[in-house]
Amino acid sequence: MAPLRVALVQQRCGPDPDDNLHRTLTAIAEAAGRGAGLVLLQELHRGRYFCQQEDPACFDQAEPVPGPTTDALGTAAREHGVVVVGSVFERRAPGLYHNTAVVLDADGSLAGRYRKMHIPDDPGYYEKFYFTPGDLGFEPVQTRVGRLGVLVCWDQWFPEAARLMALAGAEVLLYPTAIGWTPDDRPDEQARQREAWMLAQRGHAVSNGLPVLACNRTGEEPDPEHPDQGIRFWGGSFVCGPQGEILAQAATDEECVLTVDVDLQAVEQVRRIWPFLRDRRIDAYSDLLKRFRD
């Protein structure tokens, strides 16, 4: 099996959803031109990150799946013969919305979706106001390039999510992401946060013997209620191999189409020398189903 060339599209998002989508489609074409077979987009890539505030009007941005964004991504996937992993603010029913990753196979069909399971509620990230926790579980999506374990942003901090995707047969873990710093974060705190973000995901790669793709947005996006505040998304999209080794990484403050070859066959070799799945004590893990051991 030849290595799989993957591409991560790291972008700034402006106020015009159609312009953002157009630039995304242009980036998909660029990735395909470089020989990519799999393209990962960042979280909620069609618009600015609206969860900095709680505003009922923002629900107007939601759309069904299938819908306009999946149609556009599916057309691009079919035209260029690539698998595309995108992100949609999904309107499932009145009053029921999800943060949903969508997977378009190389023939343009909707191969599957993943609804974000872990929903944050922190200053600047008021996602619980908008998103219902996912109900599709941790199921990889079969595509022409392999079984994709797709998770979303806040999921990346939870080893249980990565493990369950691995146990279900995922061949690679993918994280569309929107994470950054606030204006109050000191430089040393910024460094700790970003290093922790990378370390956690590289740990998932090591613990599960799987490559990891993490695609983050970049650029500054103001808080609509407080224009002098907001989030500076730290970019830094990266790909690492099954031993956590960095294969490629983007800058913090630049748009880019990051491409690199990933050897999916290395999973077999790594798991032979580091057989973590073999040595799991599944007879002793029942307490993991508790919130906390008092």
- The C-alpha atoms of residue 4 and residue 14 are separated, in whole angstroms, by 31
What is the SS3 assignment for 60? Answer: helix
Residue listed under structure tokens 């077979």: 37
Q: Of 116, 171, 215, 240, which one is the catalytic site residue? A: 116
Quote the CA–CA distance of 128 and 47 in Å, as a whole number. Answer: 18
116 is catalytic: yes
- Whole-angstrom Cα distance, residue 160 to residue 138? 10
Q: Express the helix, strand and coil content of the chain in percent, nearest 5 each.
A: 30, 30, 35
According to DSSP, residue 3 is labeled P
Please compute Rg for the chain using Cα positions. Answer: 18
Phi, psi values for residue 130, rounded to 5° = -105, -35
Backbone CA torsion sign across 11, 15, 19, 20: positive
Annotation marks residue 43 as catalytic: yes
| Residue type, position 230, single letter | G
Q: Among this protein's residues, is 215 annotated catalytic?
A: no
Beta bridge partners, 259, equal 7
Lookup result for tokens 């970003």: 194
Q: What is the DSSP string of 7-56?
A: EEEE----S-HHHHHHHHHHHHHHHHHTT-SEEEEPTTTTS--GGGS--G
Catalytic hit among 13, 43, 51, 90: 43
For residue 57, the tally of other CB atoms under 10 A from its CB is 7
Q: Of the residues 51, 153, 215, 240, which is catalytic?
A: 153
Distance, in Å, from the CA atom of 209 to the CA atom of 135, rounded to the nearest integer, reads 26
Active centre residues (catalytic): 43, 116, 153
